[in-house]
Structure 1
Amino acid sequence: MNRRILSVVVIASATALASSASYAQLNLKQFGIGGGDSSSGNAATGAASAGGVSQLLQNYVGANQQVLAGQSSLASAMGLSGAAGQAQQAAGLLSGGTPSVSQLTQVGSTQQSLSQQLTQAFANGGGSSASGAIDKQGFSSGLESLGKGVSQYSSLQSSLGSVGQMNPTSLLQSGLNPQTAQAASYIAQSAPGQLQSLVSTLSQAVQFATSHGISVPSIASSALKGF
């Protein structure tokens, strides 16, 4: 009788321990730690996550290059040579490899400054060149580039949510190097606000063009839909 009771106790204890271990593993899974069905499965998931974040970063850089090209053209058309130069310098920060958070921050700051300068120029109602004339063809070209940039920014939104929910540790565990992980976190936090600012700038530029007889490319108009 005593042996039977002891066997039952041992079996019950083992079952409880197995259940606890399984429960702990499930809890760890919720935080992205351990718990994979196989090492190959974890590797595949990590690779997919890393690939997705890298693609997001690449698309973000491309969108910013378009935006800066547009701002540079608009500034030049308005006679703001200094602002045009600032845009070109900022674009140079995005031309080599994965940008650092410091570089991305500088690009964002320059974009904001350029938007303010352009807005002021629009409010003044004319170009700042010696003749006061506006390069209409250059302005239209700037609208096209800025419209493309805003459209590309908009397409990033579907990817930002999932990245924003991943903490730096999870990003590193997905196989990303530290610089890419930091850049991804910056993008998730900053891109939505940058988009709203750029939409405002594009909207004002389109209104200015319309009131001054400047051709508005279709991409500039379509980029504003939904905002």
Structure 2
Amino acid sequence: MSYPVPLDQVEIEHLVKKSRFIGVAQKVTSREEALAVVSSLRARFPDARHYCWAYLIGDPSAAASAAANDDGEPSGTAGKPILNVLQHKGIGDVMVVVVRYFGGIKLGAGGLVRAYSHTAELAMSGLKTHTQVRHEQYRVCLDFAHEQIFRHWLFEHQGELIDVDYGNQVSLHVGIPSAHSDAWVRWCEQHQYDTHQLSDGIAS
């Protein structure tokens, strides 16, 4: 499975009735990374009133993890609207944080939803993406005479050579695009290679 993920970070700013909204969109691949982003923005903008956020990790059509936080704004007026924008963009491994400086004029629940949604939309609209392909990781052992043939097959099928060890045989740690996993199994059986799956991984 492949899907677009952020290639860079976008930071935008706009004003709503004297409140300053700063939107930051970027790639994250875990909750720990997401919370670290929030912490870094708290340090950059220490006098802001709110640091509201949402993230979506994994395939956007079936996210492995998603979360949102209102950070003191009325429930459902900040984090959820940000997450709603993310869910309609079809981009995976993405986070948006909206930093708010209160301008002294209350926006009301509807105004807050519109302001946070619009800030998230502006940040996401400026985000560049690239396609990320899921790889399944394997360890395969083969004779030295087969190494070049193997490397050629790997190249032809957009595989990734992660690591190689030389002993009595060549031991290779590889990433195979999920789209080619069936062909990989058949090819290894045909050549009687000793192989086993390690885990699923992600590679660009």
Category of TM-score, reference length = shorter chain: under 0.3
TM-score of the aligned structures, taking structure 2 as reference length = 0.24
Which one has the largest radius of gyration?
A: 1
TM-score of the aligned structures, taking structure 1 as reference length = 0.23
Greater helix fraction, Structure 1 or Structure 2: 1
